[in-house]
Chain A
Amino acid sequence: MNLQAFLAMLSRDGRVARRNFLPLLLQNLVQPMLFVFVFGRVMTTSGMMPESYKSLLLPGIIAISMLLSGLQAVAFPMIADFQFTREIEDRLLAPMEIEWVAIEKVVAGSIQALIAGGVVIPTAWLILGTGVQISFAQPLELVVLAVLVAVLAAAIGLTLGCSLGQAQIGIMFSLIVGPMIFFGCTYYPWSALASFPILQKLVLLNPFVYASEGFRSALVPQFPHLSGYAVFGGLLLFNGVFLWLGLRQFRKKAIG
């Protein structure tokens, strides 16, 4: 590990992200915010959904925004780098084991996911208006959870970015990310799947579930949610799996 090179790469990614801050923010946040407005505001104000749905929705929206921004922050540049621009070759030739180049990408992606989370909480709260009941009673739990979700997002991004080509980006969203969002307990708690027992078991294979349920348990404990053990266990497990897979795929792409 060469800390100087690692930090220089992180600073390079930071500069590029700052340069594209607004487009990046819009790319990651417009869709979740529209969802917040339609389901959290329009549907509740019109009485089609109970007011309490606002509080139930917010943790899911935080999870989804973090996951999408971290995932895209790593996967998109990775696909372009390996397929067209080859920009990453410069970093692969830096005096450092190439695995650290991938880890740097994960760290940079995680930071972007954390920033997205930080922006989403006040924005969504603002859009939802009055009646949101969230608590910050367990700040430590929330911070650890946010970090684990951020790393998970970037690690999934690394795995997808090093496994798919440009032509498969559409498929990535429609066949992988889309189902992960909708079966990720983002818009409903896991317990709501009780009437679909098989589906309820199957969705436990989806890492997004642990992110949404984790934020639910930290911010709105008044609603049913998975236990802390299940949440942290699931997040740690999937972090391990995707980091391992992502590094393996990265090595395959980077070395001939």
Chain B
Amino acid sequence: MDVGIRIEHLRKVYTSPPPAAAQVRGGPMTGVKFFKRPEKKKFEVVALDDVSLDVRPGEVFGLLGPNGAGKSTTVGILTTRIRPTSGGAWIGGLDVWRERVSVKRLIGVVPQKPNLDFALTAREMLTYHAAYFGMPPAQRHSRATELLDRFQLGDRADSLVTGFSGGMMQRLSIARALMHNPQILFLDEPSTGLDPQTRLLLWELIRDFNRRGQTVMLTTHNMDEADALCHRLAIVDHGRVIATGTPDQLKRSVPGGFVVRLQVDTMSDGLSASLAQIQGVTEVQRTPEGGVDLYADRGGTLIPHIVTAVAASGATIRDVHIFEPSLENLFLHHTGRSLRQ
């Protein structure tokens, strides 16, 4: 069964702080746009602002953006937990808000923050989850054993989850999401807080799921993860999609590929113009902090020319940073901000 995702002109405005169960760390509350009307003191946060996306069946699609970009709200809407203000979203042709129950059968969800059932053992959690989806007892027990082994949790299968490490909880979350054989897997910031070894295991599990032809949508603010896992990406910021494409296409779309971020004591239009003249520099953008970003086809070899140009303008260099070609540069190019800021 080929199941994709279609999102059209999706908009979400929170008029009150989102409820705890629909809230996610780094999610809608981390301030997207605040409109405070002094006369009414109305709480209003625009978390998604006209987002349209198309995720093809069988692909790993990533939403890349900083905290508060609207990634978790998008996943929240697609997983029936958040009601869209306007616009629409469909999973496999089903309207996610109007046909919630049918949609829930198609999706597996791995939340950003573990929401495991602490009153149950790992095995019980999986078997009860499958029971909610109507799986017969014999089948759910064998599937639970299979997944616990595959996720290297077999030796702790009958312990309560309370003592599990972060990595174990995350693996169990994914195992639970896979219990009912979903067609689409949603992972919200799946590798946050994981050690490198567990992260690699997680990536392998995601690839493995996808190899069977199933669709994956993940959110991340880690560009390495997006680069390593995703067939296609949407870069989001302030509730809007800035760019979509394959990681390579996106990286190529940055003029030159390299970015040299320069801080000087006094920035002038003259200096900006002379920097743009340097061979290899394709674009010069002033940054909000008073520096400039040089988009160029090379990195370190530009430095002597930059030093000369700055010295000629009578200014002093305070800081230089070279960014290698990456998705981060794309983000920088479109927003003037680093993903890590």
List residues of chain A with CB under 8 Å of any chain B CB: 2, 4-5, 8-9, 11-12, 15-16, 19-20, 81-83, 85-97, 252-256
A256 — which chain B residues lie within 8 A by C-beta?
14, 18-19, 21-23, 28, 73, 76, 81-83
The answer on a CB contact under 8 Å between A90 and B20 is no
Closest A residue to B119 by CB, please name it.
A16
A12 to chain B: closest residue by CB: B128
Q: Which residues of A contact B119 (CB under 8 A)?
A: 16, 19-20, 87
Taken together as a complex, chains A and B put the C-alpha atoms of A256 and B79 apart, in Å, by 11
Chain B residue contacts of A93, Cβ below 8 A:
79-81, 104, 107, 109
Taking a contact as CB atoms under 8 Å apart, the answer to whether B21 and A89 are in contact is: yes
- In the complex, the answer to whether B115 meets A95 with C-beta atoms within 8 Å is no
User: Do the beta carbons of B120 and A254 come within 8 Å of each other?
Assistant: no
Binds A, one of B131-139, B149-157, B211-219, B275-283: B131-139
A89 → B minimal CB distance (Å)? 4
Going nearest first, the 3 A-B pairs with the smallest beta carbon separation are A256-B22, A8-B131, A86-B115
CA–CA, A231 and B73, complex, Å? 47
In the complex formed, the residue of B with least CB distance to A252 is B19
Give B90-110 interface residues, CB cut-off 8 Å to A.
Answer: 100-102, 104-105, 107, 109
- The answer to whether the Cβ of B208 comes within 8 Å of any Cβ in the partner chain is no
Number of interface residues of B (CB under 8 A): 39
Chain A minimum-CB-distance residue to B111? A89
In the complex, the answer to whether A253 meets B21 with C-beta atoms within 8 Å is yes
The answer to whether A92 and B21 have CB atoms under 8 Å apart is yes
Contact of B101 among A2, A4, A8, A89 (CB under 8 A): A2
Q: How far is the CA of A252 from the CA of B22 in the complex (A)?
A: 10
Question: CA of A252 to CA of B21 in the docked complex: distance in angstroms?
Answer: 10
A5-B120 contact in complex given A97-B101, A255-B83, C-beta closer than 8 Å: no
- Contacts A8-B128, A256-B76, A256-B81; A86 near B20 (Cβ below 8 A): yes
**B117 — which chain A residues lie within 8 A by C-beta?**
12, 87, 90
B47 to chain A, nearest CB (A): 9
Distance A253 CA – B81 CA, assembled complex (angstroms): 10
A92 to B76, CA, bound (A): 12
The answer on a CB contact under 8 Å between B21 and A82 is yes
Most chain B CB inside 10 Å of its own CB: which residue of A2, A87, A254: A87
B22 and A254 within 8 A (CB):
yes
| Chain B residues with a Cβ under 8 A of chain A | 14, 18-23, 28, 73, 76, 79-83, 100-102, 104-105, 107, 109, 111, 113, 115-120, 124-125, 128-129, 131-134, 176
| Residues from chain B with Cβ under 8 Å of A91 in the complex | 132
- Give the distance to chain A from B260, nearest Cβ to Cβ, in Å: 42
Using known A-B contacts A89-B115, A90-B176, determine if residue A254 contacts B21 with beta carbons closer than 8 Å. yes
- Given known contacts A16-B120, A92-B81, A5 and B115 CB-to-CB distance under 8 angstroms: no
Cα distance, A135 to B283, chains bound together (Å): 92
Residues of A within 8 A of B133 (CB): 5, 94-95
Residues of B within 8 A of A15 (CB): 120, 124
Compute how far the CA of A94 lies from the CA of B102 in the bound complex, rounded to whole angstroms. 10
A19's nearest neighbour on chain B, judged by CB, is B119
A96 to B19, CA, bound (A): 20
Contact status B115-A82, CB under 8 Å: no
A-B contact pairs, 21 of them (CB 8 A): A2-B134, A4-B134, A5-B133, A12-B124, A12-B131, A20-B119, A87-B116, A89-B81, A89-B111, A89-B115, A90-B115, A93-B81, A93-B104, A94-B104, A95-B102, A95-B133, A254-B19, A255-B22, A256-B22, A256-B28, A256-B73
Query: B104 — which chain A residues lie within 8 A by C-beta?
Result: 93-96
Q: Decide: B21 and A88 in contact? CB cutoff 8 A.
A: yes
| Cα of A90 to Cα of B22 in the assembled complex, Å | 12
Q: How far is the CA of A87 from the CA of B18 in the complex (A)?
A: 17
Residues of B within 8 A of A2 (CB): 101, 134
* A12 contacts across to B, CB distance below 8 A: 117, 120, 124, 128, 131
Most chain B Cβ neighbours within 10 Å, of A8, A81, A89, A90: A90
Smallest distance from the beta carbon of A226 to chain B beta carbons, Å?
39
A9 nearest CB across to chain B (Å): 7
Chain A CB within 10 Å, residue with most, of B23, B102, B128: B128
Cα(A19)–Cα(B80), bound, Å: 32
- Whether the Cβ atoms of A82 and B20 lie closer than 8 Å is yes
Residues from chain A with a CB closer than 8 A to the CB of B124 are 12, 15
Q: Complex: how many Å from CA A85 to CA B111?
A: 12
Which listed residue (A11, A19, A20, A92) contacts B131, Cβ 8 A? A11
Q: Other than the known A90-B129, A253-B21, what 9 A-B pairs have Cβ atoms closer than 8 Å? A: A85-B118, A86-B115, A90-B117, A90-B132, A93-B79, A93-B109, A95-B102, A96-B104, A254-B81
CB contacts (< 8 Å) of B23 on chain A: these are: 256
CA–CA, A2 and B104, complex, Å: 12
Whether the pair B120, A255 counts as a contact (CB closer than 8 A) is no
Per the bound structure, the CA–CA distance linking A254 and B119 in Å amounts to: 20
* B-chain residues with CB within 8 Å of residue A9 when the two chains form the complex: 128, 132
